Amino acid sequence: MEEEGSSDRAPGKTTIAPGVLVTIARLTALRVPGVARLANLPGGVNRLFHRGSGEGVRIEVEENSVAVDLYVILAREVNVRMVCERIQSEVTRAIHDMVAMDVKQVDVHVMDVSYDEPAQ
């Protein structure tokens, strides 16, 4: 921890756009073995106007805390519970490490299983 006045950083604040958080969550989830792809967000037209939404991801930011909803399609023959736990763990770590925000929760919604793609 640096003492006041000893920092080389200029005064000011940093803001993180919700789209950045969506991108981090989306790319991290897609890297988890067993995730075939992300699903469309439920809600039809309403999702087009929802701030902090992207392909398969919905983000809510409150103060310095983030809540994430991920809508995934899993590959066949995977342990659903284990894949979902890994998604939660990896997304939490990525957001915390990359933007130093607390992650309140990561809810994973399994929307389908893809029989077109083998498990990784």
Domain formed by 18-114, architecture: 2-Layer Sandwich (3.30)
Q: What is the mean pLDDT of the chain?
A: 85
pTM value is 0.81
Q: Calculate the alpha carbon distances from 104 to 1, 38, 46, 59, 91 in Å.
A: 25, 21, 24, 11, 12
Give me the pLDDT at residue 34, please. 96
Work out the pLDDT band at 109, boundaries 50, 70, 90. very high
Mean pLDDT calculated for residue range 33-54: 70
Tokens read off for 69: 């909803």
Q: For residue 37, what are the β-bridge partners?
A: 73
pLDDT, position 7: 62
Looking at per-residue confidence, does 49 or 60 come out higher? 60
